[in-house]
Structure 1
Amino acid sequence: MSPPHLANLAVHVGAGTLALLVGFALLARAKGTPTHRRWGKVFCALALLVSLSAAVGTLFFRFIPVFAVLTVLVPYQLVSGWRSIHTRERGPSGFDALWTLAALAFAVALTPALVSSSGRADIVAYASLGALFTLLAYDTVRWCFPRRWFATLWRYDHAYKLIASLFGMLSAAVGNLVRVGQPWSQIAPSVIGLLTIAFFFVQLRRREVRARLATHGQAEYG
């Protein structure tokens, strides 16, 4: 392994370890606070550094289909999920459309590489590519949504994409470090991630119902 490859790997592993620690700490703490926003920026910066070093490794040192797909999927989710905080009830803007088109171009370009590869581990690559195309389809269709929907949808959008990014990095780490039980050991973090997303979706829904009932009560007795 060449010195540049080692240096890039060190950056990737170091940033990835810190991103996972910060990400799971954020999951366990209160959301929407100044601390959450501050450390959320740190998580995104670390995760983007992980994605950049992964892209360098994929392009210049070793091409592995599943990690190539994750190199597109994770940063797409990160930036798109972060954007939802800033656009909120306004919905997607021109930047979001360009970001979706760029990710779509990379996804289409990666598809032939996956088709030409073989092996059981490709299950993870195909699943990751399917997740990317599904997300791109949603982000395209949402342009047809009434603008009033985004006052509620942005929270779900943010939660899904940032949590999915976190567990996507965990899945990549397991794929690199755990050699037994593949590909199921690599799929497991994604399944846990989906369950975590479902949990937070339920929490968000309950919060909305409580807020609606409180508003209705104030209007009735005010």
Structure 2
Amino acid sequence: MDTPLHLSNIIAHVISGTIALIIGFLILFKTKGTLLHIKLGYLFVYCMIVVVTTGAFGVIVFKRNLFLLLITILAAYNTYSGFRILKEKSNRFYVKDLLAMLGALAIALVFIYYLKFIGFYWNPMVIYSGVGYLLLVVSYDVFRYCIPASQYGNLWRYEHSSKMISAMGALLSAFIGTILPDYKPYSQILPSLLMILIMIFFNVKIYIRLKKQDVRLSE
């Protein structure tokens, strides 16, 4: 039987996750760089902090739905890294960013080892795709330190967009997977694929906008 503390944790997790998704989609379709965009962005990050905290609490303390651990890692790292790159707008090295990468990787690897030890009880495609995507993001974050600062330029814009949309993808995957459990793994994978397409769309928009700016400046 669920305790009042566990129920409170679930309610906080669901409410903050739902609000984060609503805010995230509002941000996507609002003009970027405005005061409203900035305020909504901070609110999204605050909601994600609650989502990640309650998700980790549910897994570690209440031993519920271990799959939430993977979703929590994906959402947490993408939100942290996406917010950090917006603040820095550069590929300058910081120890705390390296610690965040190592922490995310360590938890993901322990997660995989534990699942193999007890036997997979989720579709391996869902597990490996989630962990693989996390490895891809972290690998890029390591590689970008090799990019000369003079050539880094506007890459931070693409990083910020991709990582924040990825955080939304993790939320949407968890949300749809929870309300449509009979359709797994598709109810978990398809929302992620949708968000990847949205990510590509907005990165193309960023590219076109920057090209137009370059043309105007050269005239």
Instruction: Name the TM tier (shorter chain).
Output: over 0.9
Aligned to 1:160: 162
Contact 1:12 1:54 in 2 (8 A): yes
Structure 1: 5+ residue stretches without partners? 218-222
CA deviation digits over 1:62-99, x for unaligned, max 9? 34343211111111100100011111035443322222
Is 1:74 equivalent to 2:86 in the alignment? no
User: Would the aligned equivalents of 2:21 and 2:168 in 1 still touch at CA under 8 Å?
Assistant: yes
Give the corresponding residue for 1:100.
101
- Superimposed CA distance per residue, residues 132-155 of structure 1 (whole angstroms, 9 cap, x where no aligned partner): 111111111111111123321100
- Map of 1:41 onto structure 2: 42
Structure 1 residue matching 2:100: 3-state secondary structure: helix
Give me the whole-angstrom Cα distance separating, in 2, the residues matched to 1:138 and 1:91.
14
Q: Is the CA contact 1:77–1:161 (under 8 Å) kept in the aligned structure 2? A: yes
The answer as to whether partners of 1:92 and 1:143 remain within 8 angstroms in 2 is yes
Q: Give 1:144-155 correspondences, 5 Å limit.
A: 144-155=146-157
Deviating above 6 A after TM superposition, structure 1's stretches of 4 or more consecutive aligned residues are: none
Would the aligned equivalents of 1:168 and 1:190 in 2 still touch at CA under 8 Å? yes
Quick check: 2:90–2:152 contact (8 Å CA) kept in 1?
A: yes
Q: Is the 8 A contact 1:74 1:169 kept in 2?
A: yes
Residue 174 of structure 2 aligns to which amino acid in structure 1?
A
Contact 1:65 1:125 in 2 (8 A): no
SS at match of 1:180: helix
- For residues 85 and 135 of structure 2, what CA distance do their matches in structure 1 show? 19
Q: Could you state the TM-score of these two structures normalised by the residue count of structure 2?
A: 0.93
Match of 1:220 in 2: none
Q: Which amino acid aligns with 2:150?
A: R
Q: Give TM-score, length-normalised by structure 1.
A: 0.92
Whether contact under 8 Å (1:89, 1:148) holds in the other structure is no
Give the conservation status (yes or no) of the 8 Å contact 2:17–2:171: yes
Aligned residues: 217
Question: CA offsets, 1:172-195, max 9 Å, x none?
Answer: 111111123210121111000000
Alignment of 1:10-21 (within 5 A): 10-21=11-22
- The aligned residue for residue 84 of structure 2 is 83
**Range that drifts further, 118-127 or 172-181:** 118-127
How far did 1:56 drift? 0.3
Q: Which region of structure 1 is more displaced relative to structure 2, 122-131 or 86-95? A: 86-95
Quote the Cα distance in structure 1 between the aligned partners of 2:92 and 2:215. 26
Residue segments in structure 2 that go unaligned for 5+ positions in a row: none
The letter of the residue matching 2:210 is E
Select 1:185's aligned residue among 184, 187, 195: 187
Task: Give the partner amino acid of 2:151.
Answer: W
Alignment of 1:126-137 (within 5 A): 126-137=128-139
Partner residue, 2:113: 112
For residues 148 and 142 of structure 2, what CA distance do their matches in structure 1 show? 14
